[in-house]
Amino acid sequence: MTRQDRSGPPLNRRRTAMPPALAAEHLSEAGEKSAYAFRTISEVSEELDVPQHVLRFWETRFGQIRPVKRAGGRRYYRPNDVELVAGIRQLLHVQRYTIAGAQRVLKENGVRFVQAVGRGEAVAAEPLVQDAEAETGAFADPERAALAVALDELRACRALLDGLRTPPDA
C-alpha cells in the first residue's frame, strides 16, 4: 500500500493545531472561548463585524496591533489586541475619525485609553475640525462659491451639447 492509497492527510503534512499555550483552557457550557483565550482573525472579524482584510490593513497602520503569528502566518489575537481593535473600530466607524485622527488619539492618550473606548468605558473627544473636513470634503465659502459657478457653467455646456445631439424637428 503506497502513501497515496491511504485515506487521510499525507504523512509528511501534519495538520498544525493551535499550540497549547495559545489554546483556551476551558470552554464555557455554551461552547464559547473564555475571555482570556487567544482568537483567530476570523473570530475577531466576526465578533467586531470588521472584514479580515480590514484587520490586516489596520495592523499596517497601527503598530500597536501585534497579534501573535504562528507558522504559515496564522494570526492569534490576545485579549488586549481584541480590545484595541475594538477601540480603533469605535474611533473609525462610530465616531468617524480618520486613520490619522485615530493614530493621534492613540499617540496622545495611549493604548489603554483606546482599549477602554473599545470596552465602552471611555469616550474620545469629537474628531478635530480638520479631520471632519478632510473626511467630508467640506470646502470654505469662497471655494464653495467657485465650485458652484463652475458647476453652472458645466450644466450650460451640457445643455448645449444635448441640443446638438437631438435631430431637428422634421
Q: Write down the pLDDT at residue 27.
A: 46
pLDDT of residue 54: 92
pLDDT of residue 77: 92
82: which 3 cell numbers? 481584541
What HEC string does 41-85 produce? Answer: HHHHHHHHCCCHHHHHHHHHHCCCCCCEECHHHCEEECHHHHHHH
For residue 61 the three cell numbers come to 497602520
For residue 53, give Cα distances in angstroms to 58, 73, 124, 159.
9, 14, 25, 44
3-state secondary structure 95-156: CCCCHHHHHHHHHHHCHHHHHHHHHCCCCCCCCCHHHHHHHHCCCCHHHHHHHHHHHHHHHH
Report how far residue 54's alpha carbon sits from residue 28's, in angstroms, rounded to the nearest whole number.
Answer: 29
How far apart are alpha carbons 167 and 76 in whole angstroms? 67
Per-residue pLDDT tens, the chain, 170 aa: give them: 444 544 444 444 444 445 444 444 444 445 577 777 888 999 998 999 999 999 999 999 998 989 998 888 888 999 999 999 999 999 999 888 999 999 999 999 998 999 998 888 888 888 875 554 555 555 667 777 888 888 888 888 888 887 787 666 65
Report the side by side order of strands in the sheet with 68-69. Answer: 39-40, 75-77, 68-69
**Quick check: pTM over 0.75?**
no
